[in-house]
Amino acid sequence: MLTQDLFVHHVYFWLGNPVSQEDHAALLAGLQALSKVPSIQQSHIGIPAGTNRDVIDTSYAFSWLAVFANQGDQDAYQIDPIHLHFIDTCKHLWNKVVVYDSIQAR
């Protein structure tokens, strides 16, 4: 059951070298390891779905969705050693990151 304090963290990554299969695999492995952060209730690693409408942006390489019980859990994620390791070891792979954080509308 979802609570009103639910915090959703959605991150989009653009690879610096989008044709590199090695970079693609390395970022995927990094995101898979990132899903082990204990404060994450649910996570999803996505790639563009191939849908084609004017409002859809398919220019990104990966999306990372993490759901937290509340903002405190998301704050803990930001400083979790697994998250910090992910940034340190994968930041060279991307040239753009966009983050959308959201909470329950009231």
In a domain, 58, yes or no: no
The candidate with the shortest Cα–Cα distance to 96, out of 50, 65, 60, is 60
Q: How many domains does the chain have?
A: 1
Q: What's the pLDDT tens digit per position in 62-77? A: 999 999 999 999 999 9
**Does any domain span residue 64?**
no
* Residue 43 resides in a domain: no
Question: Could you tell me if 41 and 68 are in contact, meaning their C-beta atoms sit under 8 angstroms apart?
Answer: yes
47 — pLDDT class (breaks 50, 70, 90): very high
Angle formed by the axes of helices 81-90 and 71-79, nearest 10°: 50
Share of the chain above pLDDT 90, in %: 92
Tell me, yes or no, whether 51 lies in a domain: no
pLDDT digits 0-9 by tens, 32-41: 999 999 999 9
CATH code for the domain of 99 = 3.30.70.100
Any domain includes 26: yes
Model confidence at 106, pLDDT cuts 50, 70, 90, reads: confident
Q: Is 70 exceeded by the pLDDT of residue 1? A: no
Q: Is residue 88 part of a domain?
A: yes
Question: Considering the domain boundaries, does residue 48 fall inside one?
Answer: no
| Model pTM score | 0.92
Q: Is position 47 within any domain?
A: no
Using the predicted structure, report yes or no on whether residue 57 has a pLDDT greater than 90. yes
pLDDT attached to residue 2: 53
Greater confidence, 62 or 106?
62
What is the DSSP secondary structure assignment for residue 66, as one 8-state letter? E
What are the tokens at 15?
């690879």
> What is the total residue count of the chain?
106
Q: Which domain does 96 fall in, by range?
A: 1-37+69-106
